[in-house]
Amino acid sequence: MTPILKIDNLSHRYSKAWAITNIQLEINQTGILGLLGSNGAGKSTTMNIMCGVLNQTEGRVLIEGVDMRTNPEEAKKKIGFLPQNAPLYMDLTVDEYLNHCAWLRLMDKNTIPSALQEVKERCGISHFSNRLIGNLSGGYRQRVGIAQAIIHRPQLVVLDEPTNGLDPNQIIEVRALIKEIAVDRAVIFSSHILSEVQVLCKDIVMIEGGKIVFTDTMDAFNNYIKPHSALVTMENPPTTADLLNIPGITQANFLTDNQARVFFNDQQQITEKIIEISVQKGWRLTEITLDKTSIDEIFAQLSNKIPKQN
């Protein structure tokens, strides 16, 4: 089976500085892949090369087996791209603009009317067919931007910060649209907003410093750092000093008379130790809950902005 996208040893430099090095990525199925990274990490360079906007220094990008560098016209027919700043013409109507985009994608002129109608219905913009794009709200402009990326029915769609600048209701609407689009095609969703990627994506690739530092499922990303604190509730609580005497616990703070948060440097068997000592000492433990690591903390660690825990 030919991959929808295959990126092989991709590297690029501007002057003497390498923006990305040895990027490897393969997509074989429909769904949403999150491309995550801080500003300047190399996401935009990777996407621009992937979509044929920029020629790479080294490596290859294949879209359904077609090399983007050696056969860009054919490869671009198979990919849709919405850059961070949507390429909209404010003085055109929605229909005029989408017709123009269809011609740019070299679509068969006989298929354009049906494709135009289909994409307008799918993106919820049919009632704005004759409205100037400049007179649309930000959310509907973004819908038009997504429409131009899928009008030629590509198998791969790349969306760069598609919810940026939208209000909360518009974000929810665009999220739902992206999920619908991803049912029958592969979508790469790029963002530096962690919560957006967490809500939408099943799989994730994180680029930092021009290199891939993480590639796995969203669940694996969420669990990347082991919990290092827990809430402990006891009916007959000990003193703080007693908790600190438990091997592995480095800090203990009582939040109420009966509940404490304990910090530890090694998760291995820490709950068993607390339970065992609680029984021995008669603390009457009623609940112990490991704190879930925040996605921001995971991002910071992978970005080398905080030291990794031992």
Q: Identity (one letter) of the amino acid at 300?
A: A
Mean pLDDT rounded to a whole number for the chain = 90
Span of 133-142, 165-174, 202-211, 295-304 with lowest mean pLDDT:
295-304
10 Å CB burial of residue 213 (0-12, 13-18, 19+) is middle
Say yes or no to pLDDT of 306 above 60.
no
In terms of CATH, what superfamily is 5-222? P-loop containing nucleotide triphosphate hydrolases (3.40.50.300)
Tens digit of pLDDT for each residue in 47-101? 999 999 999 999 999 999 999 999 999 999 999 999 988 899 999 999 999 999 9
The architecture that CATH gives domain 229-292 is 2-Layer Sandwich (3.30)
pLDDT of residue 218: 86
Query: Where along the chain do the CATH 3.30.70 domains lie?
Result: 229-292
Query: Where along the chain do the CATH 3.40.50.300 domains lie?
Result: 5-222
Phi, psi of 97, rounded to the nearest 5 degrees:
-65, -45
Give the integer Cα–Cα distance in Å for 33 and 40: 20
Q: Is the model more confident about 76 or about 270?
A: 76
Tens digit of pLDDT for each residue in 123-144? 999 999 999 999 999 999 999 9
Per 3-state DSSP, the chain is made up of helix, strand and coil in percentages (nearest 5) of: 35, 30, 35
pLDDT of residue 219: 84
Taking CA 154 as the corner, what is the angle to CA 152 and CA 157, rounded to the nearest 5 degrees? 115
Give the integer Cα–Cα distance in Å for 246 and 146: 56
